[in-house]
Structure 1
Amino acid sequence: MRRFFGAFIPIRVALSGADLVILLLLGALLVLGMALAVQAPAAISGPAVKLAPELLPYYALRSLLRMAMAYILSLLFSLTVGYLAATRRWAGAIILPILDVLQSVPILSFLPVVALSLTAILPEGVAVELASIVLIFTSQVWNLTFSFYQSLITIPGDLREAARIFRLNPWLRFRHLELPHAAIPLIWNSMMSWAGGWFFLMAAETFTVGARDFRLLGLGTYLQMAAEQGDLQALGWGLLALIAVIVGMDQLIWRPLLAWADKFRVEMVESDEAPSSWLYDLWQRAALSEWFLRRVWEPLVERVDVALGRLSEQLAVRPALNPIPPWLVGLPFAALALLGLGYGIVQAYHLLGALPASALPLLGLATLASMARVLSAQIIALAWTVPVGVWIGMNRSLAARLQPIVQVVASIPATALFPVILLFALRLPLGIEIAAVLLMLMGTQWYLLFNVIAGASAIPRDLIFTTEILGLRGLERWRVLILPAIFPYLITGLITASGGAWNATIVAEYVEFAGRAHATLGLGALIAQATGQGDYSMLLAATLTMILTVAAINRLVWRRLYAMAAERFRLE
Structure 2
Amino acid sequence: MTPFTNPIRGLSSAPTERSQASRRSRLVSSVLVAIGVLAFFGALGYLLPALGAPIGPQGIPEHISTDAKYLPYYAMRSVLRMFLALFVSLVFSYIYGLAAARSKRARAILMPLLDILQSVPILGFLSATISIWLVLFPGSIMGVEAASIFAIFTSQAWNMTFSFYGSLLNEPTELDEAARSLRLTRWQRFWKLDVPYSMIPMLWNCMMSVGGGWFFLTASEMISVNNRTMALPGIGSYVEEAAGQKELGKVGLAIVTMVVVVLLIDFLLWKPLTAWAEKFRMADSESTEPKRSIVLTVLRLSGISDLLGRIGRPISGFLDRLTRPLGVTGGHWSTGQYRRRTLFSNGLYAVVLGLLGAWGLFKLYQLVVPALGFSEVGHVFVLGFLTMLRVTLLIIVSSAIWVPIGAMIGLNPKLSRILQPVVQICASFPANFIFPFVTMWFLAWHIDINWGSILLMALGTQWYILFNVIAGASAIPDDLREMSRSLRQPAWQRWKTLILPGVFNSWCTGGITASGGAWNASIVSEVVSYAKHTLTATGVGSYVAEATAVGDTPRIIAGVAVMSVFVVALNKVCWSPIQALAQRRYAIT
TM-score (norm 2): 0.82
| Matching residue within 572, 579, 585 for 1:555 | 572
- CA positional deviation for 1:533: 3.4
**Residue 136 of structure 1: aligned partner:** 152
Give the Cα–Cα distance (whole angstroms) in 2 for the partners of residues 467 and 343 of structure 1: 54
| Matching residue within 75, 88, 105 for 1:90 | 105
| Matching residue within 420, 428, 449 for 1:411 | 428
| Matching residue within 455, 459, 462 for 1:445 | 462
| Matching residue within 61, 74, 84 for 1:59 | 74
Could you tell me which amino acid in structure 2 is paired with residue 463 of structure 1?
Answer: L
Counterparts of 1:243-392 in structure 2, within 5 Å, are: 243-286=259-302, 288-289=303-304, 291-293=306-308, 295-313=310-328, 319-321=334-336, 345-346=362-363, 348-392=365-409
**Residue 410 of structure 2: aligned partner:** 393
Q: Which of the two has higher C-alpha Rg?
A: 2
Could you tell me which amino acid in structure 1 is paired with residue 390 of structure 2?
Answer: R
Give the Cα–Cα distance (whole angstroms) in 2 for the partners of residues 101 and 139 of structure 1: 13
| Matching residue within 112, 123, 127 for 2:127 | 112
SS in 2 for 1:427: helix
**Residue 342 of structure 2: aligned partner:** none
From the superposition, tell whether residues 398 and 91 of structure 1 become closer, same or farther in structure 2 (CA, over 3 Å): same
Structure 2 residue 527 is matched with structure 1 residue 510? yes
Could you tell me which amino acid in structure 1 is paired with residue 575 of structure 2?
Answer: W
SS in 1 for 2:538: coil
Flag the structure with more relative contact order, 1 or 2, with Cα contacts below 8 A and sequence separation at least 6: 1
What runs of 5+ residues in structure 2 fail to find an aligned partner?
Answer: 1-58, 339-344
SS in 2 for 1:426: helix
Give the Cα–Cα distance (whole angstroms) in 2 for the partners of residues 294 and 118 of structure 1: 38
Q: Is the 8 A contact 1:100 1:555 kept in 2?
A: no
Question: How many correspondences in the alignment?
Answer: 523
Structure 2 residue 247 is matched with structure 1 residue 218? no
Give the Cα–Cα distance (whole angstroms) in 1 for the partners of residues 442 and 479 of structure 2: 48
**Residue 537 of structure 1: aligned partner:** 554
SS in 1 for 2:535: strand
Deviations 1:289-323 (A, max 9, x none): 36515633434433333333455559967724399
From the superposition, tell whether residues 382 and 344 of structure 1 become closer, same or farther in structure 2 (CA, over 3 Å): closer
Give the Cα–Cα distance (whole angstroms) in 2 for the partners of residues 209 and 302 of structure 1: 49
Q: Is the 8 A contact 2:186 2:323 kept in 1?
A: no
Structure 2 residue 78 is matched with structure 1 residue 79? no
Deviations 1:36-84 (A, max 9, x none): xxxxxxxx97444112222222212221221122111110111111111
Q: Is the 8 A contact 1:108 1:503 kept in 2?
A: no
Give the Cα–Cα distance (whole angstroms) in 2 for the partners of residues 290 and 69 of structure 1: 23
Give the Cα–Cα distance (whole angstroms) in 1 for the partners of residues 367 and 299 of structure 2: 63
SS in 2 for 1:168: coil
Give the Cα–Cα distance (whole angstroms) in 2 for the partners of residues 294 and 535 of structure 1: 54
Q: Is the 8 A contact 2:180 2:329 kept in 1?
A: no
Structure 2 residue 481 is matched with structure 1 residue 464? yes
Structure 2 residue 583 is matched with structure 1 residue 566? yes
From the superposition, tell whether residues 369 and 296 of structure 1 become closer, same or farther in structure 2 (CA, over 3 Å): same
Give the Cα–Cα distance (whole angstroms) in 2 for the partners of residues 320 and 312 of structure 1: 7
What runs of 5+ residues in structure 1 fail to find an aligned partner?
Answer: 1-43
**Which shows bigger deviation, 535-544 or 352-361?**
352-361
Give the Cα–Cα distance (whole angstroms) in 1 for the partners of residues 324 and 335 of structure 2: 18
**Residue 187 of structure 1: aligned partner:** 203
Could you tell me which amino acid in structure 2 is paired with residue 112 of structure 1?
Answer: S
**Residue 422 of structure 1: aligned partner:** 439
Give the Cα–Cα distance (whole angstroms) in 2 for the partners of residues 468 and 563 of structure 1: 30
SS in 2 for 1:354: helix
**Residue 527 of structure 1: aligned partner:** 544
**Residue 14 of structure 1: aligned partner:** none
TM-score (norm 1): 0.84
- CA positional deviation for 1:100: 1.7
- CA positional deviation for 1:146: 0.6
**Residue 27 of structure 1: aligned partner:** none
**Which shows bigger deviation, 290-299 or 374-383?**
290-299
